[in-house]
Chain A
Amino acid sequence: MDLDLNTDQHMFRETSARFMQDQCPLTKVRALAEHATGVEPDYITQAAELGWFSLLVPEDLGGGTLGEHGLLDAVIVAEELGKAMQPGPFLPHNVVIHALAESGSAQQQADILPALMAGEQLASWALATPAGNWDLDNSSVTVSEAGDSYVLNGAKGFVQDAHLADWLLVTAPVAGGLGQFLVAAKTPGVRLEALTSFDLGRRFSHVHFADVAVPASALVGIAGAAADAVERQFQIALALQNAETLGLMEWLFTAMVDYSRERIAFGRPIGSFQALKHIMADQALVLETCRAGAAALARVVAEQGEDAGEVASMTKAFIGEQAVEMAQQSLQIHGGIGCTWEFDLHLFLRRASVNSALYGAPGWHRERLCRYHGL
């Protein structure tokens, strides 16, 4: 994606890609999709050893990066995850890690963060409503204060890999603003409602909160003052997501071009026919544009540019939509075989669709863009 990777980053990319191929090739992805958990604990701990969960943490808290910004390393992994259609909570897990590194209490950073970075415990982010509304200040979970503890009621939607999570970062309105709570998944009153997911390699749950009592020490940051932190987390999530989606597009694009070179009809490879060639040329332009966009987004979020929020929404709207379109065109060019369960294309098509809606659909982001500009 980024044309300016340093030597270490190139190696990191290769190592990560090889790990994915060795530990979880597509045959395994499919097998795990039938399995209860969808990802193996060994995979997670080995990924942690590669450094996948230390990238968004500063060195003084045990983190490590390869270049100037850990996020630029993290998107390298994200893109490879997309290309290899990997299971696992890389994105939400890293967002929660970032939140703790950035705004967590000393206790959270000492007691919980190391386990998350080592992959011994997993976390996910509970942000959206069960109706699929990604407004950062949505109130599908309400918080009431009870002495020096808080009580959560309501539900959060589409929490990725919640069934694997030891910890859930819950974002909700409190004390006149936003607050974030790191809730132990086993806290009484927390109930997971497992969903059937369109993405075969990834599980989602709605999480219900019935009088869930959490101590003040569960707060990440100050109650009522988390809006900026939440916006930044959202931007980081979008940077990681768009990198992953780009990876999906790379696979879908390469698959269709390669197929068109091999498939023979009417005496020649079908890729020699202009009608197909022209579709692929347009998709090549789209792919190059998405590469540019994903790289630019990662950079502006990493550098905390003042227009990072705007760029995040513009990029998500574009890449989210184009990935779905590319999946459709790739399917079209593959013809009948693309419609078989056995062929891998649908795995990528499914994830492209899910990524399009997760963390806000293109239309929602376009509206966010208008509001960003005061329209």
Chain B
Amino acid sequence: MSVDQQELQEYRARARAWLQANLTRGHAAERGHGSESDEDIAQEREIMAKICDAGYAGINVPKEYGGQGLTSAHLKVFNEEARDYNIPTGGVTLAIVMPTLLKHGSEAQKKRYVPKMLRGEERWVQLFSEPGAGSDLAGLQTRAEQQADGSWLLNGQKVWTTGAAHAEFGVCLARTDWDALKHEGISFFIVDLHAEGVTVRPIREINGGASFCEEFLDNVRLPADNLVGELGQGWAIANYLLSIERGGGGGDGPADSHMRGTRTKQLSPDLVAYARKRGVAKDSDIRQLIATAHINDYMYNVLVDRVSKGIGEGKMDPTSASYIKHGLGLLQPARAKIAMEVAGAGAIAWTAEQEAEAITSTQYLNCRVYSIAGGSMQIQRNIISERILGLPREPAFDRGIPFREVQKRAKSWTGKV
């Protein structure tokens, strides 16, 4: 179905005019980082409502769910016009949770939740990881037990949830069958974060910030129709969500993230500034470090360009996206380490005016985020070696047996098969 070019041109002109009259230009706000203040969130909600009421939210979402019912061509046009504006997306609400619900939710769920997602009235988060289930997400143990009246009783704990303190709802993975195989006994639920039994607490991070939260779920009652999809379909739905997150478009995937297109033509400006300030700009070892940082940055960017283009044009397997993720996971710690070295004593203590030093040390504390979160570097190495290079897998001890049995054996692990 092709769209009338004339219609699209008119649409573009209208969108451009509206954006100009109603929003401020600026760099895209850092999305989903959870460190926004109450005021920041309130402002986001206001802007989202404004955009929605003007008819520019959910452009290709069907009308019966609160969208505009237009085509992806219209969406592309709007995104192009909106590129330079502060368009908030409610953290992961619009980019990740909404598409998942649109694909797997019931009619009733879509009608109840999507309109308020679009208007910024209800913000959503992902209740996935647990203290005991990070890399091995499918090993999760939050449990949902069906009650006589069809409702569910939810018990467990979730962790590393970005933005939960400001959200209304979460999509939650819970185990509903302990006798099923590990991946088959998981279901996908909608959880009201303000329901009784839900406690949300910010996690204090090593950099002093609190972008993430942990959630305690104590006998939380979920209505029967809070189940998304079929019972036991949770893992498949979660994988769909994760694939969107990894870069199916507009997510927090590394290919969309800050590293892309941030290659600075200038020679590592922060490092050069340190070197000059410290009077060591002629020292050979400092120069080698500065050059190394610049080169690594450049090489990472050509890698991302090649892999993104290769996948986009169907010349490379989509699994190659792991190169982007793994590359970033190796790049950032190396870069942060170089910065600390070049900053010299500025990395150990600084005055109130020394903002750069404070940033460098914070970045050092943050530098392993991408090598740990969203598939650690060890997981990436497994993915690359097994799924791309085709090397044989190692034996697994959590397959083919009921999950209940997996846990029992894991606790008394002797290494003997």
Contacts and interface: CB of A to CB of B under 8 A. Distances in A.
Interface of A: 3, 257, 260-261, 268-269, 271-274, 277-278, 280-282, 284-285, 288-289, 291-293, 295-296, 307, 311, 314-315, 317-318, 363, 366-367, 369-370, 373, 375
A292 B306 contact: yes
Q: Provide the main secondary structure of the chain B interface.
A: helix
9 contacts: A3-B310, A257-B391, A277-B382, A280-B391, A281-B389, A317-B291, A367-B284, A373-B266, A373-B267
B384 A261 contact: no
B287 A281 contact: no
B303 A370 contact: no
Contact of A288 (B266, B291, B307): B307
Given A292-B302, A367-B287, A375 B323 contact: no
Contacts of A314: 294-295, 298-299
A282 B378 CA distance: 10
A292 B392 contact: no
Contacts of B104: none
Contact of A280 (B281, B309, B389): B389
Given A3-B310, A272-B394, 13 more contacts: A257-B389, A257-B391, A268-B392, A269-B392, A278-B382, A280-B389, A282-B330, A284-B389, A288-B307, A289-B303, A363-B288, A369-B291, A370-B267
Given A257-B391, A375-B287, A277 B327 contact: no
Interface string B380-414: 11101110110111100000000000000000000
B306 A272 contact: no
B326 interface: yes
Contacts of B299: 289, 292-293, 314-315, 318
B306 A284 contact: no
Contacts of A273: 394
A116 B300 CA distance: 39
B305 interface: yes
A284 B384 contact: yes
Q: Provide the main secondary structure of the chain A interface.
A: helix
A367 B302 contact: no
Contacts of B291: 317, 366-367, 369-370
Interface in B198-247: none
A369 B288 CA distance: 9
A315 B301 CA distance: 12
Contacts, number: 121
A369 B291 CA distance: 7
B288 A284 contact: no
B393 A272 contact: yes
Interface in B260-295: 265-267, 272, 275, 281, 284, 287-288, 290-292, 294-295
Contact of B382 (A268, A274, A282, A288): A274
Contacts of A285: 303, 323, 326-327, 330, 384
B306 A370 contact: no
Interface string B351-370: 00000000000000000000
A42 to B, nearest CB: 37
B388 A284 contact: yes
B385 A296 contact: no
Contacts of B394: 272-274
A288 B267 contact: no
A291 B394 CA distance: 29
B389 A288 contact: no
B327 A261 contact: no
Between B296, B305, B306, B388, the greatest number of chain A beta carbons within 10 A of the residue's beta carbon is seen for B306
B315 interface: yes
Nearest to B313: A3
A295 B364 CA distance: 32
Contacts of A280: 385, 389, 391
Contact of A281 (B302, B306, B380): B380
A269 B391 CA distance: 9
B287 A278 contact: no
Nearest to A307: B265
Given A285-B384, A289-B303, A373-B267, A278 B392 contact: no
Nearest to B320: A288
Nearest to A257: B389
Between A269, A281, A288, A315, the greatest number of chain B beta carbons within 10 A of the residue's beta carbon is seen for A281
Contacts of A315: 299
Given A260-B391, A261-B392, A3 B295 contact: no
A277 B381 contact: yes
Nearest to A271: B391
Closest 5 CB pairs of A and B: A366-B291, A373-B267, A292-B306, A281-B381, A281-B384
A281 B386 CA distance: 9
A296 B304 CA distance: 12
A311 B326 CA distance: 23
